[in-house]
Amino acid sequence: MNFDRYHTPVDEERLMEACAAIKHVALDMDGTIYLGSKLFPYTLDFLSTLDSLGIGHSFLTNNPTRSRKAYIEKLHNLGIPATDEQMYTSLQATVDYIHLNMPGVKRIFALGTPSLHEELRDAGFELTSDDASDIPDALIVAFDTTLVYERLCRAAWWASQGVPYIATNPDWVCPTDKPTVLVDCGSLCKAIEGATGRVPDIVIGKPNPAMLYCIRDRYGLQSHEIAMCGDRIYTDVATARNAGSFGVLVLSGETSLETALSSDPQPDLTALDISVFGDLLRRARGL
């Protein structure tokens, strides 16, 4: 299979038709518009392209270690203007899920960062302590860069006791530009599974399509008018597929070219980076 700047499983005419229909782009962040603390050189031009074409955009992340406010501040520091409405994290999706589907849940044991705990409190939940007598209504496991071994053991205990168990996201690792491996939520859940045999009752965040459904309903769009753009097949592209949206895989983050081209099914579009997608959006509109 040949690959120049992009690959698609459909012919060029159908690709242009799909790109011409796009009215909103949901953007993964780390590995897609920046890597770690470094903004990709083409990101601002891509966002300007969307604005000039009248295409809206949102920022979606499976990483719940920061608050929405902190993410917006990071984007601003990188030169990207973003509003509260444009930012949606897997923790927000988790809170929305609990409020809608588990209204009896008030007390939570959460494996996550201090900012995650603060956002849960702000959402009206009480957080239980690391104490076997302090029984929660639900267990939430998230990407935890402040992980304490004893709290991991307590999370495993509650999982073993049948407490309702929610994972914020399925990611095995978090992308980074540092010489290390950032163990993410999926890996923590795997440790709990190894210790207890229990897997989460539900995994929120990508590839759960709820985040794209929220965008669809908020802006009155059809699913095919939304593109989900990210660097992971098993989260970003799978989210698009599950939501009936256009899936764009970029090779600027986790996924290698070899992995991308051997994927079955193929993403709607595999591109070197988001600038290539921007070029296609312009071409689809005769520009």
pLDDT in tens, 142-162: 999 999 999 999 999 999 999
pLDDT of 175 above 80: no
Q: Do domains 6-62+206-284 and 92-203 have the same CATH topology?
A: yes
Domain boundaries, the chain: 6-62+206-284, 92-203
The pLDDT of residue 104 is 96
pLDDT in tens, 45-60: 999 999 999 999 999 9
Under 8 Å CB-to-CB from 88, ≥6 apart: which residues?
58, 59, 60, 61, 68, 211, 214, 215
3-state secondary structure of 250: strand
Report the half-sphere exposure of 85 (CA within 13 A, side-chain side). 5
The gap from C-alpha 57 to its chain's centroid, in whole angstroms, comes to 14
Q: 273 near 254, Cβ under 8 Å?
A: no
Q: Which amino acid is at 84?
A: D
User: Which pTM does this prediction carry?
Assistant: 0.80
Average pLDDT over residues 111-124: 95
What superfamily in CATH does domain 6-62+206-284 come from?
A: HAD superfamily/HAD-like (3.40.50.1000)
The pLDDT of residue 2 is 52
Q: Tell me how far apart the alpha carbons of residues 133 and 239 are, in angstroms, rounded to a whole number.
A: 39
Residue carrying structure tokens 């980074």: 176
95, 88, 85: which is closest to 117 by C-alpha? Answer: 95
pLDDT of 248 above 50: yes
Using CA atoms of 52, 53, 56, 60 in order, give the dihedral in degrees to the nearest 10: -90
Average pLDDT over residues 124-138: 97
Fold of 92-203: Rossmann fold (3.40.50)
Average pLDDT over residues 61-87: 91
Token pair of 115 as six digits: 């900012």
